[in-house]
Structure 1
């Protein structure tokens, strides 16, 4: 079986958490897109849901599939968000933002009663940081902001290349919110909470891709089937 098969297995399992008349947040990325496709099929069978997409990419896909859409302004409280992740550790701490939607993803996730992560087994890690950490910044003063990221990250024990993300045409990648992204190749992040706190001190930083204490469960598809990890904050996580 391929990584796509594992992603599809996780996405299919996540449908079991969706109930009629739920208000859902729809994530961004390859695994989230599989879930949106599967959800669209259920909507065509009669499932009634109302959804907030986390990116224009997801909005276009969901609209094409006939999934009813709303906004957080119209529907500010959601029941459940289902989204992917670039990395997830045993404490359900995440790195997200590889698709460039981390700000909207974090807003939607925190507006939800629950967030469930869906991923293939390659995204499960012992320690965050092999995937470069995305940091979304405003365009004004971008070089000064980069320097501050480098300095405060070093204070948190993180060192590595900090590179402005480029689009396919070679120009800077621009998020749906009109911002830029630095991809920070810090390697293993020993203290994600300290790094997250440090980045929040930088005025030019809009948000970073560390999702800490946000995910309530992770559905991981792999060669041995699907595993569900439930968050027990303040306690140890266990697979069920």
Structure 2
């Protein structure tokens, strides 16, 4: 199967997982990225079976609206039943690296609110140790150099993602050559650097369910 077919398979699996759980008051959190876009397209067939959505990026919000799916401000809802999003990397503890699309902060906020976080990814995203994919860190612009120096002290090689401004008006540093055997510890340490808005490690709040697309079908991994 092609990577696109694997992405479609997990998007379809996520729709089938939530379909029997949808109620008229259900609010879905929707992430950002190519796999999530396929989920959004499929969700259009179920739009009458839920209350609406909250989105982690303006791009996802616009795609949802184009399908006639209501998009709410997170402050206007008192619950998010399911959060569906992809990942750039995942390990078997369902700890993730996210943020390749620069939406990591809003993704973290929705994941924190959601009752269940469903991650959808193709099999190439599953790794033993996180860090081969450069770790995105959202940073207040004036703190860019300071944060970069602190990330070097942690052992990484931060690179400014030129030309990218987040939906929050900030910049992204991508940390290369940064093996992360202890994601919980590293997430906390980066969070404590003054000027960091959020980093792309989802270890403090990992996924609850990982739907992984493989040539032999969709594998389901659950948090232990």
Name the TM tier (shorter chain): over 0.9
8 Å CA contact 1:28–1:84 kept in 2: the answer is yes
Deviation string 1:159-202 (CA, Å, 9 cap, x unpaired) is: 342100023xxxxx100000100000134212212211211211
C-alpha separation between the residues in 2 aligned to 1:223 and 1:141? 44
Which of 68, 74, 77 is matched with 1:75 structurally? 77
Q: Tell me which stretches of 4 or more aligned residues in structure 1 moved more than 4 Å.
A: none
Q: Contact 1:51/1:69 (CA < 8 Å) preserved in 2?
A: yes
The equivalent residue for 1:29 is 33
In the alignment, which residue of structure 2 is the partner of 1:117?
Answer: 119
Partner of 1:6: 6
Q: Which residue of 1 aligns with 2:67?
A: 65
Aligned equivalent of 2:109? 107
Shift of the alpha carbon at 1:47? 2.4
- Please tell me whether residue 20 in structure 1 is matched to residue 30 in structure 2: no
Q: Distance in 1 between matches of 2:90 and 2:146?
A: 30
CA contact (8 A) 1:137 1:181 kept: yes
Note if contact 2:151-2:157 (Cα within 8 Å) is conserved in structure 1: no
> Hey, which of these two has a bigger chunk of helix by percent?
2
**Is 2:79–2:113's contact at 8 Å kept on the other side of the alignment?**
yes
Is 1:142 the counterpart of 2:134? The answer is no
CA distance in 1 between counterparts of 2:93 and 2:37 reads 25
Q: How far has the Cα of 1:14 moved from its partner?
A: 0.4
Aligned to 1:170: none
Structure 1 position 82, deviation (Å): 0.4
Tell me the equivalent position of 1:156.
none
For residues 14-44 of structure 1, what are the alpha-carbon distances to aligned partners after superposition, in whole Å with 9 as ceiling and x for unaligned?
012321331100010010111011001322x
1:46-77 deviation per Cα after TM superposition (whole angstroms, max 9, x unaligned)? 32331001000101100111111111110142
Aligned equivalents of 2:189, 2:63: Cα separation in 1: 36
TM-score under structure 2 length normalisation = 0.94
Decide whether aligned partners of structure 1 residues 130 and 123 sit closer, same or farther in structure 2, where only a CA change above 3 A counts: same
Q: Which runs of 5+ in 2 are unaligned?
A: none
Count of matched residue pairs? 219
